[in-house]
Structure 1
Amino acid sequence: SLLAEIAHSPLFKKADLRIAPASPAKAERLLPLLTHPNATIYLNLAEASLLAKTCFPDAPTAAKALITRGATRILVTNGSQTTAMGTPDGVITATPPPVLVTRVTGAGDTFMAAHIVAESRGSNPTEALTQALRTAADYVSGEIGS
């Protein structure tokens, strides 16, 4: 498949890949990219479970398991519950701020974009995770536009 070619291509070896499935049904297609040395994979808990073919109880457990399976960096969201970022050095967690949810479509995209922006501005991993969760919470509450 094309994703397997990308995962093993010397042209992409140094690329900073930021990857998210378009839907839970497409999560398993990301398996060839799981072990790419510069891939950051963004998943919700359902997508992480499908990718690993295991039902995880929470995001930290999913992140730990996917790192054990070879992921370099993985972020797992779980709605209003704890979100986790796993690396070979460990797992950090943060909880989204409580908000009145008015929409959910686009929440994952908003989280991913905000995380990338926070990192590009020099935020440390915990700050980037917290900032991304705050931005996603603002989005789902309708505080920021669609």
Structure 2
Amino acid sequence: MDPNGELVDRLRDLMKVVRRLKQESTAHYLSVPTGLVATLTLIDRSAGCHAKELALRTGLDQSTVSRAVGTLVAHGLVERRADPADGRASVLAVTDAGHAVLDQARGWYDDLLSRALAHWEPTEVDALNAALGRLTADVEATLEASR
């Protein structure tokens, strides 16, 4: 089989598992609408970012990010604060309730991955991390170069 074709198949399998993870994880912390833990995590990592910056980082349309942020705000997980540099703009911040949800989500994911990788050697996990990081960076660079 063509190695690139096999990689496409493995990536398709991985995306299916990621979709299942999103569905399963929602059952464990119902205060977060399906699929928004990743957005909440990005806001947490990018403290004080604007929605426009978040759209650029995620590669999503600004209207999609705006709806996601609006949903997180409505659930009390994110708040909009006045931008200290420009009072007309707002920056996003995770609330205490949002941090509690993130702690719960991280615990759930950590437990799941610990069990799934229990029979892996640390060097195998390191190799996977490095390969996925490189693949992600190379695919993003190739997409950018194609623009």
Where relative contact order (Cα < 8 A, 6+ residues apart) is larger, the structure is 2
Higher helix share goes to which structure? 2
Higher strand share goes to which structure? 1
What range is the shorter-chain TM-score in?
under 0.3
Question: Normalising by structure 1, what TM-score?
Answer: 0.27
Question: Normalising by structure 2, what TM-score?
Answer: 0.27
